[in-house]
Chains A and B, each alone.
Chain A
Amino acid sequence: MAMTNMVSGSGTISSNAMLRIPCPQCGLRDYSEFRYAGDATKSRPGLESTDPREWHDFVFLFDNPKGAHREYWQHVQGCRQWIVLERDTATNRVGSASLARERGHV
């Protein structure tokens, strides 16, 4: 789609506009169609792990970067897919988006 190409062509979206997310299925859509689900860089401890420290760190601690952030969004008012989005938290510039299941996240 033309709008998606515009995004992948420049790799960015103006930070002045509403945040828009290039859904791999539906193209470029307003962020208000999505549900934000946080940091996608964490990896869950193995289910056999009984170390409370490991689980505490997974659940409660964040890098919370000012800059490049990899994060989950779910397109709840669209294709309902889970998406992993690259976004700059200091400018809202959006980079690539991919389906979480294709990246082995789900």
Chain B
Amino acid sequence: MREISRYSAWSLARKALFGTRWRRAWRAADPRPTYDVVIIGGGGHGLATAYYLAARHGITNVAVLEKGYLGSGNVGRNTTLVRSNYLLPGNTEFFEHSLKLWEGLSHELNYNVMLSQRGQLVLAHGPGQLDVLARKGNTMRLNGIDAELLEREDVQKLVPFLDYSAQSRFPIYGGLYQARAGTVRHDAVAWGYARGADHLGVDLIENCEVTGFLRSGDRVIGVETSRGTIHAGRTAICVAGHSSQMTAKLGWRLPVESHLLQAFVTEPIKPFLDHVISFGAELFYVSQSDRGGMVFGGHIDGFNSYTQRGQLPKVQTVAECAVALIPGMSRLKVLRHWGGIQDMTPDGSPFIGRTPFENLYLNAGWCYQGFKATPATGWCLAHTIAHDQEHPLIRHLSVDRFERGNGHDEYGLGLWNYKQ
């Protein structure tokens, strides 16, 4: 075990007074020939899995292999929202577990992930939609999760700058508010888990691309990489949008299509938007960053893509949503928009668990919701790897569920809602 340098007010003051240099937050490890567990993908999910394997299951002979640099993918490309307002059995408990882990994460990791529980408001634009939100809120409360149903007047008191006018295209009937939801500084999540895992002995290996699998029959016994052959007792795939490419090396096709999702940030303005707001008439969500920029996103672009660069018609659609919801945003300039690759699944739910290959575990298909799931995914996948048995919170997320007709359709829109 390495000497651990903890962050504290004392260490900050000492460094400020004496000007000593901060040490690197984690080592630049070189690959060793053999590990107990190899995790492919050094994003939020892979790093969280490595951390919980070491911290909760005492498995420290672990490598995380990242083809670029740590946190270079979707963990730094999302809109940083965390919440647990889910309806279906399975999802409700899983995402609440995740939110509870978020609430303790800065202390757990001794790393400030800047969780800001500013509350999320989901809007209803008709009485039927408000009924649906009431049902979801009741489900949440029955599961011990905070939820509050707001009427139009309450919403107007909370966020007076939405479009409440008589001409409003989508009149506001009310909303469902979760006060514990909020935002997290997403890069800090990758860095915090990386540092925590490294301190416990995990090797974080960057610029190391997996090019193939070592197999003994249907058992995976390691990986071929751009930095040599690595043998592994158990191997986990956490590569988000590139999951199909990884499993193709095993001749295994997934129920996944990779699509591009854009996110946007405007020029910074003074504090204006205190909450996270989700439009009810389209997929659109917005919050204000600590720097002052309005951060928002919408739907995927709509066709298979690995380009990580968005198309302009979607920019227009998202901007129209923004202005329909908050007319005051019409004068803001968009500073940047960027894209991440989403692994879309037929029912909108992910896959976590064992695979047709012995000692190989898959975590894929997170669609729009990977970031908020990061701690619980790491928690449950670490358990699954350590025990070779799915954690109870993810039993409904098996990769073969469509063969058994067990799709898990959170949105109630039927399969393939991402294509509609």
A2 at the binding interface (Cβ < 8 Å): no
Residue of B nearest to A56 (CB): B403
A25 at the binding interface (Cβ < 8 Å): no
Interface stretch, picked from A4-12, A43-51, A87-95, A98-106, is A87-95
B307 at the binding interface (Cβ < 8 Å): yes
Instruction: Tell whether, in the assembled complex, residue A91 and residue B256 are in contact, meaning their CB atoms are under 8 Å apart.
Output: no
Instruction: Tell whether, in the assembled complex, residue B313 and residue A61 are in contact, meaning their CB atoms are under 8 Å apart.
Output: no
Query: Which of A31, A53, A59, A90 meets B306, CB within 8 Å?
Result: A90
Query: Which of A18, A38, A53, A92 meets B313, CB within 8 Å?
Result: A18
Instruction: Tell whether, in the assembled complex, residue A38 and residue B419 are in contact, meaning their CB atoms are under 8 Å apart.
Output: yes
Known contacts A18-B312, A32-B313, A56-B402; A64/B303 CB under 8 A: no
- C-alpha spacing A60/B303, complex, angstroms: 16
Q: Which residues of chain A come closer than 8 Å to B312, judged between CB atoms? A: 18
Instruction: Tell whether, in the assembled complex, residue B402 and residue A92 are in contact, meaning their CB atoms are under 8 Å apart.
Output: no
Query: Which of A15, A18, A36 meets B303, CB within 8 Å?
Result: A36
Instruction: Tell whether, in the assembled complex, residue A89 and residue B306 are in contact, meaning their CB atoms are under 8 Å apart.
Output: yes
Tell me the residues in window 247-264 of chain B with beta carbons closer than 8 Å to chain A beta carbons: 248, 253-258
Query: Which of A15, A60, A64, A91 meets B258, CB within 8 Å?
Result: A64
- C-alpha spacing A83/B256, complex, angstroms: 23
- C-alpha spacing A34/B266, complex, angstroms: 29
B327 at the binding interface (Cβ < 8 Å): no
Q: How far is the CB of B194 from chain A (nearest CB, A)?
A: 26
Q: Which residues of chain B come closer than 8 Å to A56, judged between CB atoms? A: 402-403
Known contacts A18-B312, A56-B403; A89/B244 CB under 8 A: no
Q: How far is the CB of A88 from chain B (nearest CB, A)?
A: 9
Instruction: Tell whether, in the assembled complex, residue B257 and residue A90 are in contact, meaning their CB atoms are under 8 Å apart.
Output: no
Q: How far is the CB of A66 from chain B (nearest CB, A)?
A: 5
Residue of A nearest to B400 (CB): A56
Instruction: Tell whether, in the assembled complex, residue B306 and residue A66 are in contact, meaning their CB atoms are under 8 Å apart.
Output: yes
Instruction: Tell whether, in the assembled complex, residue B253 and residue A31 are in contact, meaning their CB atoms are under 8 Å apart.
Output: no
Query: Which of B242, B253, B311 meets A63, CB within 8 Å?
Result: B253
Number of chain A residues close to chain B: CB under 8 A = 27
- C-alpha spacing A65/B242, complex, angstroms: 9
Instruction: Tell whether, in the assembled complex, residue B304 and residue A61 are in contact, meaning their CB atoms are under 8 Å apart.
Output: no
The size bracket of the interface on B is 20 to 34
Instruction: Tell whether, in the assembled complex, residue B307 and residue A15 are in contact, meaning their CB atoms are under 8 Å apart.
Output: yes
Q: How far is the CB of A95 from chain B (nearest CB, A)?
A: 15
Residue of A nearest to B312 (CB): A18
Most B C-beta atoms less than 10 A away, residue of A18, A52, A62, A91: A62
Instruction: Tell whether, in the assembled complex, residue B313 and residue A64 are in contact, meaning their CB atoms are under 8 Å apart.
Output: no
A75 at the binding interface (Cβ < 8 Å): no
- C-alpha spacing A52/B403, complex, angstroms: 8
Known contacts A30-B313, A90-B307; A64/B403 CB under 8 A: no
Residue of A nearest to B258 (CB): A64
Q: Which residues of chain A come closer than 8 Å to B313, judged between CB atoms? A: 18, 30-32
Instruction: Tell whether, in the assembled complex, residue A89 and residue B346 are in contact, meaning their CB atoms are under 8 Å apart.
Output: no
Instruction: Tell whether, in the assembled complex, residue B311 and residue A64 are in contact, meaning their CB atoms are under 8 Å apart.
Output: no
Q: Which residues of chain B come closer than 8 Å to A19, judged between CB atoms? A: 303, 311
Residue of A nearest to B247 (CB): A64
Q: How far is the CB of A17 from chain B (nearest CB, A)?
A: 9
Q: Which 4 A-B pairs have the closest CB atoms?
A: A64-B244, A36-B303, A32-B313, A61-B253
- Please name 8 further chain A to chain B contacts, defined as beta carbons within 8 Å, in addition to the given A36-B419, A62-B254, A91-B307, sorted by A numbering: A19-B303, A19-B311, A32-B311, A57-B253, A62-B255, A63-B253, A90-B307, A92-B307
Can you offer 17 A-B residue contacts whose CB atoms are under 8 A?
A: A30-B313, A31-B313, A32-B311, A36-B302, A38-B419, A56-B403, A59-B402, A60-B255, A61-B255, A62-B244, A63-B253, A64-B253, A64-B257, A69-B304, A90-B306, A91-B307, A92-B305
